[in-house]
Amino acid sequence: MITVYGIPNCDTVKKARRWLDERGVAYTFHDFKKQGVPETRLDAWIEARGWEKLVNRHGTTWRKLDPSAQAAVQDAASARALMLGQPSVIKRPVMEADGEVLVGFDEQAYARVAQA
């Protein structure tokens, strides 16, 4: 079972979902805006990929943060708190498939996971 987490209007999420749809890959979509960030899943992502990979420091949400709020993100706990409070700061999409966690859209990684 594949689950894609993100925000529907995000261009990278749209690209990933379109890629899956075009190949007939079944998946469930979890909308951060409507359903929030599942805390237990976030903890698993941090463990699997590291908080540094999950925090999108190039996105609009990060750039709009006060410099002191940006500086406060120094470890997994502070990053977790930020991601729960501001889901848009999470690099998207996050895909879970067969125990694997992918962050962002990488066509080769998606192809490998979709064939599993």
Which residues are designated catalytic?
10
Give every CB contact of residue 52 below 8 A, 6+ residues apart in sequence. Answer: 79
Between 11-22 and 107-115, two packed helices, what is the crossing angle to 10 degrees?
40
User: Helix H segments across 1-116?
Assistant: 11-22, 32-35, 39-49, 51-54, 60-64, 67-71, 76-85, 107-115
Q: How far, in Å, are 2, 27, 65, 82 from residue 97 at the CA level?
A: 5, 9, 32, 25
